[in-house]
Chains A and B, each alone.
Chain A
Amino acid sequence: MNFYDEIINRIRKVTGERGEGESNISVSAALTAEITFISAVLIAAVMLRKLNFILMVIAVLLLAAVLLTSFPLSARLRTEQGDGFSTMIFYVLLTLGILVSIFYWGGAGV
């Protein structure tokens, strides 16, 4: 089985559980979202070179390994970014907690 079929099968597995069909357009859109997300995260991770070059190399390699072995991210992302109130408020509170912690204990020199 080639790489493309593998990806489609995994997308079908996730979307099929919700009873949704998929067309060529939706599968190609999901693939594009997948590639966009992975490449954007990896390119963004390269910016860690501003902090430390070795940290950047480790982060990029780790992220690449995790992202490429976690297909299909886009379908999972869609489930995670759904309209459920509990999911939304969870991420809101998580962000608030992280922001406050980093700023309060991080100091002005960060």
Chain B
Amino acid sequence: MNPLIPVMVVLPILCALLLNLLHGRDRTVKALAVAVAVLLPVIPLLAGYGVHYFGGYAPLSENSTIAAGLPGSIKSSYLYSFHPAITYVFGSAQRIFLVILSVVTFLAVLTSLNEVRRPSGVYAFLMFMGTAAVTAIVLTDDIFNLYVFFEIAALAQVGVVLCSGVERNYETALKYMMIGGVAAPMLLLGVAILLALTGNVNISDIVYSMRSGLVNPGSPLFLLASALLIFGWLYGTGLPPFHTIKSAIYSKALPHGSALLQAFSVFTFTALAIVILRMFYHVPLVRWVMVFFSLAGMVLGISMALMQTDLRRMIGFLAVGELGYIGIGFGLGTAASISAGLFQAVNEALITACIFLGFGTIFYMTGKTDPEDIGGLMAYKPGLAGLVMLSGFIMAGVPPFNVFQSKLRLIQAAIQAGVPELGILMILLSIVTFMTFMRAFYSVYLKPEPKGMELESRSVPRSTVFSMVVLIIICTVLGIAPWLATSHFTALIQGLII
């Protein structure tokens, strides 16, 4: 057992609770938040791979003292390898996901602390609580535990929106909660059906039951459970029909909050998709449904982004649209496509955070989000404009950056899987994404300054620029050396494909 595995979840929860209690003591809140945010990426880097059983209740097969006294009938049965405890699994894929999530959390926390006059302990509480919840979702091998943290992450996201002070944020947060009131219980119902059919909530045990013939994996109830899990997955990630509310959530949070929320969405998307594929890889319909909703998310997200008159909403829709690429990787179901999808998830979390922070500087300087009211910002901040443009290039898939590598691999995987149409669609939608981004960039930076435009601030906090530079550097490094990320996915993919 590795004690650092639970620390990855417990530390941000403890930090969150302390920050909430310390709200009002500005220096202490700032120091504690930064210290823990720095520690977060270090822990997964230091932790060894392994499994953690909460309460120490390891399977009988791993407990030689108890196993020695057991009759042969137990040793030869399914009970011998049964997982009685909530189990967390930390492998190489989990390491890269958690490092990236923690880096985005650190940069979002750092930016938030420097962009406001007084740091808010409550806001920091929500950021850390959300991070802890998504970390648990990535680590857990227990589907009920996953559901609990899924709900905590959703509540933290609502809280981040409520703390933003953006116009009509309360309305959007309430809508998200009410829609969640339909979607999340469906996920729980799916978990309940799986528990009823297999007598278990441990994902490895459920998969074992299905693959070894202990239960009939083709029964309608199993398939119903898969439909409900997919529905929960759509809600957690923001694919249609949840794309409208998810993009609204992004647009009603502060830029650093949006950067973090989309990272939550990306890693929840990945973790849930892995669980669904582990259980239902044998059902082709599951994979085609994943492809369908991912494609719908890409087309609707990017089409809707084109028609927005609010910058934050436009980026929100683009973020939702980009998630579709990851889903296509999973849906195609080949080793190459899943690897490319996982790589796209890592890249997406990084670059969308950078774009949210970049466009957030426009709101910081002007206090406006309608491109009609903004223009000519290139004259004030040419360096920052360069960083924003660079992040747009990266998101669209311009070489030699990381998104180029992952999108290229996705297109190649689609062609190899015998579905070149998906490759064509991905190319088409990447071009439109680039066009959408350039339209926003032109409106804000290159268009002549509108009469009467007043700047609320002529400078941007250094921490924001630092965060963008760090994210772009990571994107460049992963673009030049993609194996730094992709080599971590091999073991995970081998366990997914039957």
Nearest B-chain residue to A34, judged by Cβ: B303
Instruction: Say whether B121 faces chain A, with CB atoms less than 8 Å apart.
Output: no
> Number of B interface residues, CB 8 Å?
54
A108-B309 in contact (CB<8A) = no
> In the bound complex, what is the Cα–Cα distance between A32 and B304 (angstroms)?
11
Q: What are the residues of chain B within 8 A of A4 when measuring CB–CB? A: none
Main secondary structure of the interface of B (DSSP, over half): helix
Q: How far is the CA of A100 from the CA of B424 in the complex (A)?
A: 30
Main secondary structure of the interface of A (DSSP, over half): helix
Question: Are the C-beta atoms of A96 and B186 separated by less than 8 Å?
Answer: yes
In the bound complex, do residue B223 and residue A107 qualify as a contact, i.e. CB atoms below 8 Å apart?
yes
A9 interface residue, CB < 8 Å from B? no
Q: How far is the CB of B308 from chain A (nearest CB, A)?
A: 9
The answer on a CB contact under 8 Å between A43 and B303 is no
Q: How many A-B residue pairs have CB under 8 A?
A: 130
* Distance, CA A75 to CA B304, complexed state (A): 10
Tell me if A41 and B241 are in contact (CB < 8 A).
Answer: no
Q: How far is the CA of A36 from the CA of B244 in the complex (A)?
A: 19
- Could you tell me if A30 and B307 are in contact, using CB atoms closer than 8 angstroms? yes
* One of B98-106, B148-156, B279-287 contacting the partner: B279-287
Q: Inside 8 A of B172's CB, which chain A residues have their CB?
A: 83
**A3 at the B interface (CB under 8 A):** no
If the complex has contacts A83-B248, A95-B231, A96-B231, are A43 and B435 also in contact, measured as CB distance less than 8 A?
Answer: no
Contact residue among A88, A96, A105 (Cβ-Cβ distance under 8 Å from B175)? A88
Contacts of B284 in A (CB 8 A): 110
Closest to A85 in B: B175
Contact with A along B190-233 (1 / 0, CB 8 A): 00000000000000000000000000011010011011101100
Residues from chain B with Cβ under 8 Å of A96 in the complex: 182, 186, 231
Cβ proximity bits B416-427 to A, threshold 8 Å, 1 near / 0 not = 000101101100
| Count of chain A residues with a beta carbon within 8 Å of a chain B beta carbon | 44
Which chain B residue shows the least CB distance to A90?
Answer: B241
Q: How far is the CA of A46 from the CA of B419 in the complex (A)?
A: 10
Known A36-B429, A85-B178; contact A110-B244, beta-carbon cutoff 8 A = no
The reply on A53 being an interface residue by CB < 8 A is no
Given A74-B307, A81-B244, A105-B220, verify A32-B435 contact (CB < 8 Å): yes
Chain B stretch 396-438: residues in CB contact (< 8 A) with chain A: 419, 421-422, 424-425, 428-429, 432, 435-436
Q: From B432, which residue of chain A is reached at the shortest CB distance?
A: A36
Known A36-B306, A44-B421, A103-B224: A92·B179 in contact at CB below 8 Å: yes
Q: In the complex, A74→B231 CA distance in Å?
A: 26
Tell me whether B182 and A83 are in contact (CB under 8 A).
no
Inter-chain contact B227/A30, CB cutoff 8 Å? no
Which residues on the B side are within 8 Å of A25 (C-beta)?
A: 439, 442-443
Question: Least Cβ distance of B443 to chain A in Å?
Answer: 7
Cα A41 to Cα B282 with chains together (Å): 27
The interface residues of chain A lying within 8 Å CB-to-CB of B226 are 103
Interface contact A106-B429, CB-CB below 8 Å: no
Residue in A26, A40, A92, A100 whose CB lies within 8 Å of B429: A40
Taking Cβ atoms with an 8 Å cutoff, the residues of A that contact B are: 23, 25-26, 29-30, 32-33, 36-37, 39-41, 43-44, 46-47, 50, 74-75, 77-78, 81-83, 85, 88-89, 91-96, 99-100, 102-110
The 13 listed contacts between A and B (C-beta, < 8 Å) are: A25-B443, A26-B307, A29-B306, A39-B428, A74-B303, A85-B175, A89-B179, A92-B179, A96-B186, A103-B220, A105-B220, A106-B285, A107-B218
